[in-house]
Structure 1
Amino acid sequence: MPEVIREKVDELINCEDLAMNFLVAHITRQPPIKTTSKWTLRCPACKTSLYHRSEHYQQRHECIRFFSEVYGYNPLLFTQLRADSVLFKTRLPANHQKCFKYV
């Protein structure tokens, strides 16, 4: 990853996820793979979260512009894929347990 991108992330304390997606997309020429829970975890009690800052999304927009300038293009590719666990929302008898408790 270009050092100027790491410096920008450190300066803003933001955009590290975008920087990694740019790097992976640039190297692999593949769309991103997002592995996370079905729902986004928001923390209303966390008043210091980055997304509560008024400039958060403007900074992320600036990061995308800056990273595109550094790479000379925007390597991010669009994709849409969803794969849910077979046992998602399946109730099991009390004496059974899912392989992945929180999936």
Structure 2
Amino acid sequence: MTHNIYIYILVAAAVSCLIRVLPLTLIRGKIKNPLIRSFLYYVPYVTLAVMTFPAIITAPQIPVAGILALVVGIIAAWKGVNMMGIAALCCCVVFVCEAASAYLM
């Protein structure tokens, strides 16, 4: 059973290495296709969103508090509030929602 873990680690290392090495070896020049360029431009943002949005809803004890904090954060970002202000505002929204729900129950 212990030798299986070494195979898993070896396969994971090979896949990780291939993901990093293949683009460097296969793509020599500048990518001129606008579709591929826009796809590659938005990959980091989409990856961050996919990892973050489920945690926003599931992290609080009450999912409605997370959804409300998300809405408030989007509105605050739209109005031009800085990141620290948005984070503090969203934390306050979750705190108030959870305190209100504890008080009501």
TM-score (norm 1): 0.26
Q: Higher RCO, 1 or 2 (CA under 8 Å, sep at least 6)? A: 1
Please tell me whether Structure 1 or Structure 2 has the larger radius of gyration of its CA atoms: 2
TM-score (norm 2): 0.25
Higher helix share: 2
